[in-house]
Every structure is written in structure tokens, then in C-alpha cells.
């Protein structure tokens, strides 16, 4: 993608268990930023670059991802330095099938240690790019895993070195990963890939440093991008129906997707298709790291409409400006021919219940603020602790179904992510009201509002260490992360 138009991602880092807001305000002053009209807009939405398969054999996928700095002209007469996979931001799309064996050779030409985390994919712990398995600058490593039947879904990949995850992502390191079913009930629907990220540039056209609000709330760049482009135009397919796979690859921005005059039909979540299409949805919320599959239909429309991220109140703290709706792209329905559409399948897949619960666990998100040495100190915690790579926080038995109760006792939303498996949300509890999940789905992410408790069923299939954390990357790097040992 970057070889044609190089734009990037959001995120940041501080390798701290707590932060001094007063000190940060002094050392990380709010930088002067480029105005939002500084980047070109209106170009036709491009497809994501695809990573070429070098294997040359059935059910084998082999390729190389090299992480390295690269410069690009985003603003006239200025070069912006990014960190990119294979010179492309977003990184190249990895597109494979269930049953494929995937081997990715990773070459780290960065000045920092790094990993590749296969977000949401069912891979063994030693192949999942855990923080404890970081590859040193100049190092190389091969990841290898086989994707089982039933793993079709919309995933992504990004770095996961503790203390540097957010920075490496906001500098450009992340990409889409699709696992396809060999028999897909929606295979005949034209597919559109929409990877949404944001980018924060200073007046010199360089990736801006974080200010204290970015670190506290999660970084939000002034440019919201789709497939690395600023406010592109999407020419809608002439058939009048498209299948959209949408990624929220932002570090801290929540996306309340709306398309005036059009309603969405939900057909898939993080880990693949749901059992039955859910039509007539006016909006879809994606927390950072979440993905979704939607059916979008033109109907009688032949006009243009703007896909936007509406204002979503997630409980930001500090001196922050009021949120406003963010336009993402313009949908142009002019090419639609008006051909009658066949009904969608009423059943897309079957998702069995995970079964009887063998063990229970409780996870509590919290925030702390205190005064130490005349400075405000803030921490982001799980079960009252910040992440310690030497500590195992929880233990599970391989193959046992568990009920996890995740409680958000913080003052803002926190999206929960569990490595190595997909889980099923059972119910949500908020303000004393328990609400059963209205449909069964495979997820590796779930958002929790302030004061909300979510209960999930989950099972791990490999022995080893798994991470669980908030997917606002600043919070993860500041310690809102734990380790699960599977035995």
C-alpha cells in the first residue's frame, strides 16, 4: 500500500507502571499539529497490498515480513519516517484458507526489539509473538502454524514487545490477516476490506510525540485513514450489495460506524461468521482491535453518502477537547444498476456452545490516581497490579471450559483481549441489570463500559503462556496486562 500512498497508524508507548501527569505535561507538551486538510483526500479507495505466497504447494503459505524504517512524502517537500512491514503501511494483507500451514520469516531491521503477534488466530503460544519472545534488532525468526478447520475469520497482525507495542504500531507496523473457509455461504458477495487507522503528524510532517492526554486516554491522530488513505471515495459495486470486512486498527479511537440512509446487516465478528444475519442495524461500535463483517446494500440509492465514526462517549479523562464525528470515506452508489438481489442465506454457520464450565476466573480493570512527591500518579491495573513479565497471574488447564468474569471498575471504557483463542460472550451486567448476549459469536475482543461486568466462556488448547490485556495500546504498555499459564 505504501508504495502507492504511504500513510499510517495510531498508537504510542511509555514503559511505565504509572505515570506522572504533571511531569508529562512538562516534558511532552502538546505538539503543534498539521491541519486536517493538509493531506489529500477524495482518491478512489485502493485495495490492500497482498503478501505473495512463495510456497508453490497446496495448503502451504510461506513469505517474509521485514520491519524497517522507510520515508514517504505525505506533505509537499517533506518526508515522514515510518516503520513498516515490507515498505507498506498498512502492512501487506495475508490471505489464506483453513487448513493452510503458514510460515512467516520475520526480519527485524528496527532499532528496537519486536515480535509479530497474530491477533485472534488459534496458534501455539511459542508462535504467537508474546512479549517474552521479542526478536532483537538485526534478528530473524520464523513463525509457523497450521490453521484448523473452523478458524475462518477476520484477523490482524502487529508487534507485541512490552513497553514498545504502542510506539511500533503508531509508527506503522500492523496489517490485515484473513482466514477463509473453503465453503463460504457469502463467497458470491463482492468483498470490500476497510482497515481503519489514524495518524498524528506535527507541523513538520513527522509522527508526533504523545501528550499526557494521549497516554491517559489512548492516542487519537488528527487524520483518520482507510487502507492508509485520507477520506477516500468507495465506488459501490454495481450489483448493489457488498460484504465489508472492517478493522479498527486504532490505538485508542472507538469507531461508532454510521452510514446515513443505509442500515447494516451484521454477518460476522472477530472470529468469523455468526449463525444468522442480523439486519437493520443503524450503527456498529468497534473498540480498538475489534473487527466485524457487514453486508451493505444500496437499495434504491444512486447518490453519495459519508461513512462516519459518530461521537461515542467512552469516559475520557483530563483536559480534552469535545469529540466530534469523524468522516471516514464517501460511498458513491452511482454505478449500481438496480438488479434485484437474491435473499441472503438465513443460516451462515453453526456455533455450538462451549459446554459445561470447569473453572471460573475474575478479572478486574481499575485505575488509580495518587499524589507522590507533589506529582499526580496514575496507574492502569488488572486485579490491582501492573504487568510484571516475571509473574504468572492466572493458571488454566488445557481443554477445560472456563467462565471468566471481567469487571471494569475504572472510569472509562476498556476493551479486553485474550490471546490464543476465541471466546463466547455469555452476558453483560451494567447498573445492576444482567442482559444475556442476544446471539452467539466468536470473539477475541469485548469492550467494557465503566462499571460494566462481562462474562465469557473460553477454553485454551495449547500449553504455555498467554497474555490478556486492555487493547488501548497505551494502557497495555503501562501495565494493564496479565499472564495466563496453561498447563
**Predicted confidence (pLDDT) at residue 21 exceeds the cutoff of 60:** no
Q: Is 346 inside any structural domain?
A: no
Same domain, 168 and 199: no
Domain C-terminal end among 161, 180, 199: 180
Same domain, 233 and 175: no
Same domain, 132 and 197: no
Integer Cα distance of 49 and 71 in angstroms: 18
Integer Cα distance of 215 and 205 in angstroms: 21
Q: Tell me the average pLDDT across 14-23.
A: 36
Same domain, 173 and 134: yes
Rounded to 5°, the CA angle 35-39-42 comes to: 125
Tally of structural domains, the chain: 3
* Beta strand residue intervals within 287-358, DSSP E: 291-297, 304-310, 326-332
Q: Tell me the average pLDDT across 253-275.
A: 98
Q: Tens digits of per-residue pLDDT, 198-228? A: 999 999 999 998 888 888 999 999 999 999 9
**Predicted confidence (pLDDT) at residue 190 exceeds the cutoff of 80:** yes
Percent pLDDT > 90 in the chain is 86
Q: What is the pLDDT of residue 75?
A: 85
Q: What is the pLDDT of residue 372?
A: 66
Q: Is 117 inside any structural domain?
A: yes
**Predicted confidence (pLDDT) at residue 340 exceeds the cutoff of 70:** yes
Q: Are 388 and 381 in contact (CB under 8 A)?
A: no
**Predicted confidence (pLDDT) at residue 463 exceeds the cutoff of 90:** yes
CATH code where residue 280 lies? 2.60.40.420
Q: Check whether the bond before 50 is cis (ω within 30° of 0).
A: no
- pLDDT level of residue 375 (50, 70, 90 thresholds): low
Integer Cα distance of 236 and 335 in angstroms: 7
- pLDDT level of residue 285 (50, 70, 90 thresholds): very high
Same domain, 363 and 389: yes
pTM for this prediction: 0.93
User: Domain containing 138: what range?
Assistant: 39-180
Q: Is 387 inside any structural domain?
A: yes
Q: Is 457 inside any structural domain?
A: yes
Give the chain's mean pLDDT: 92
Same domain, 382 and 285: no
Furthest CA-CA distance within the chain:
70
Q: What is the pLDDT of residue 2?
A: 39
Q: Tell me the average pLDDT across 365-371.
A: 84
Q: Tens digits of per-residue pLDDT, 358-367? A: 999 999 999 9
**Predicted confidence (pLDDT) at residue 265 exceeds the cutoff of 50:** yes
Identify the helix (H) or strand (E) that includes residue 248: strand 241-248
**Predicted confidence (pLDDT) at residue 17 exceeds the cutoff of 80:** no
Integer Cα distance of 246 and 253 in angstroms: 14
Q: Is 165 inside any structural domain?
A: yes
Q: Which residue, among 67, 83, 88, 84, has the nearest Cα to 137 in the 3D structure?
A: 67
**Predicted confidence (pLDDT) at residue 164 exceeds the cutoff of 80:** yes
Domain C-terminal end among 147, 180, 213: 180
Same domain, 215 and 326: yes
Q: Is 1 inside any structural domain?
A: no
Same domain, 197 and 169: no
Distance set, CA 414 to CA 290, 321, 334 (Å): 12, 20, 40
Same domain, 163 and 53: yes
Same domain, 427 and 477: yes
Enumerate the β-bridge partners of residue 470. Answer: 416
Q: Is 28 inside any structural domain?
A: no
- pLDDT level of residue 191 (50, 70, 90 thresholds): very high
Same domain, 366 and 415: yes
Same domain, 270 and 239: yes
Residues 6+ apart with CB under 8 A from 314: 254, 412, 413, 449
Q: Is 314 inside any structural domain?
A: yes
Amino acid at each position: 500500500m505504501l508504495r502507492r500512498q504511504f500513510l499510517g497508524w495510531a498508537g504510542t508507548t511509555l514503559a511505565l507502571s504509572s505515570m506522572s501527569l504533571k511531569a508529562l505535561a512538562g516534558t511532552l507538551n502538546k505538539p503543534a499539529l498539521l491541519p486536517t486538510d493538509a493531506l489529500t483526500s477524495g482518491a478512489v479507495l485502493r485495495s490492500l497490498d497482498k503478501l505473495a505466497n512463495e510456497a508453490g504447494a497446496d495448503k502451504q503459505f510461506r513469505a517474509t515480513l521485514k520491519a524497517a524504517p522507510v520515508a514517504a512524502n505525505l506533505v509537499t517537500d517533506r518526508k515522514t519516517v515510518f516503520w513498516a512491514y515490507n515498505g507498506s503501511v498498512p502492512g501487506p494483507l495475508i490471505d489464506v484458507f483453513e487448513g493452510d500451514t503458514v510460515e512467516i520469516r520475520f526480519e527485524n531491521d528496527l532499532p528496537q526489539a519486536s515480535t509479530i503477534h497474530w491477533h485472534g488466530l488459534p496458534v501455539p503460544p511459542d508462535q504467537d509473538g508474546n512479549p517474552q519472545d521479542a526478536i532483537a534488532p538485526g534478528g530473524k525468526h520464523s513463525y509457523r502454524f497450521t490453521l484448523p478447520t473452523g478458524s475462518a475469520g477476520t484477523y490482524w497482525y502487529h508487534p507485541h514487545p512490552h513497553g514498545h507495542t504502542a510506539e511500533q504500531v503508531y509508527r506503522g507496523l500492523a496489517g490485515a490477516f484473513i482466514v477463509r473457509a473453503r465453503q463460504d455461504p457469502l463467497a458470491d458477495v463482492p468483498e470490500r476490506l476497510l482497515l481503519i487507522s489514524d495518524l498524528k503528524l506535527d507541523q513538520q510532517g513527522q509522527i508526533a510525540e504523545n501528550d499526557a492526554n494521549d497516554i491517559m486516554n489512548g492516542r487519537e491522530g488528527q487524520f483518520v485513514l482507510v487502507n492508509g488513505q485520507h477520506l477516500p471515495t468507495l465506488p459501490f459495486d454495481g450489483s448493489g450489495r457488498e460484504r465489508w470486512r472492517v478493522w479498527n486498527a486504532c490505538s485508542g479511537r472507538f469507531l461508532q460506524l454510521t452510514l446515513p440512509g443505509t442500515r447494516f446487516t451484521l454477518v460476522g465478528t472477530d472470529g468469523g461468521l455468526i449463525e444468522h444475519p442480523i439486519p437493520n442495524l443503524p450503527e456498529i461500535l468497534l473498540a480498538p482491535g475489534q473487527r466485524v463483517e457487514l453486508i451493505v446494500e444500496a437499495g434504491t440509492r444512486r447518490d453519495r453518502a459519508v461513512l462516519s465514526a459518530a461521537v461515542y462517549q467512552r469516559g475520557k479523562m483530563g483536559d480534552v477537547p469535545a469529540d466530534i464525528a469523524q468522516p471516514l470515506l464517501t460511498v458513491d452508489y452511482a454505478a449500481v444498476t438496480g438488479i434485484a438481489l437474491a435473499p441472503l442465506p438465513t443460516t451462515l454457520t453453526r456455533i455450538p456452545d462451549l459446554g459445561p464450565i470447569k473453572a471460573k476466573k475474575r478479572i478486574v480493570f481499575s485505575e488509580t490516581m495518587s499524589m507522590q512527591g507533589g506529582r499526580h500518579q496514575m496507574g492502569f491495573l488488572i486485579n490491582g497490579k501492573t504487568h510484571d513479565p516475571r509473574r504468572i497471574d492466572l493458571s488454566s488447564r488445557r481443554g477445560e471450559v472456563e467462565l471468566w468474569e471481567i469487571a471494569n471498575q475504572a472510569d472509562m471504557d476498556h476493551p479486553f483481549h485474550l490471546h490464543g483463542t476465541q471466546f463466547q460472550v455469555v452476558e453483560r451486567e451494567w447498573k445492576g441489570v444482567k442482559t444475556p448476549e442476544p446471539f452467539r459469536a466468536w470473539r477475541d475482543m469485548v469492550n467494557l463500559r465503566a462499571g460494566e461486568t462481562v462474562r465469557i466462556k473460553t477454553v485454551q488448547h495449547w500449553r504455555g503462556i498467554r497474555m490478556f490485556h486492555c487493547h488501548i495500546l497505551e494502557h497495555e504498555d503501562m501495565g494493564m496486562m496479565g499472564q495466563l499459564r496453561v498447563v
